[in-house]
Amino acid sequence: DAKTTQPPSMDCAEGRAANLPCNHSTISGNEYVYWYRQIHSQGPQYIIHGLKNNETNEMASLIITEDRKSSTLILPHATLRDTAVYYCIVRVLQGAQKLVFGQGTRLTINP
């Protein structure tokens, strides 16, 4: 019962910006957009989250549309180590709401 839709796979050249889209048209007003990634054979790793304003940290930027129905995760200068499966999740910030993963986007960074 994931509430997001992502493309199954994407490719990006090393050194370029990787832009990963996510649709979440049924997002509620108190739900945040979270991004995680999973590098092969490791547990998922938190990347970034946001409510309605754009967010940036040392790993990535998150752009959320004004209507909040979609978002884009941006890796500004992709490296080979960014090759992973990227998951977009919506959930409330606090409380006991389930943390449900979809199928994610398999991002391949090419040299």
CB of 15 to another protein, least distance (A): 28
Distance (Å, rounded) from C-alpha 86 to C-alpha 36?
A: 6
- Give the CA diameter of the chain: 42
CB contact at 8 A, 32 and 94 = no
Residue 24 CA to residue 39 CA, distance in Å, equals 24
Q: Residues in contact with another protein, total (CB under 8 A)?
A: 24
| Least distance CB 74 / another protein (angstroms) | 19
Residue among 95 and 111 whose Cβ is closer to another protein: 95
Among 85, 88, 107, 109, binds another protein (CB under 8 A): 85
Is 41 within 8 Å of 71 (Cβ atoms)? Answer: no
Shortest approach of another protein to residue 59 CB, angstroms? Answer: 13
* Overall residue count recorded for the chain in this entry: 111
Q: Cβ closer to another protein: 103 or 110?
A: 103
CB of 13 to another protein, least distance (A): 25
Which residues ranging from 32 to 71 are in contact with another protein (CB under 8 A)? 32, 34, 36, 42-46, 49
* Residues 64 and 71: beta-carbon distance below 8 Å: yes
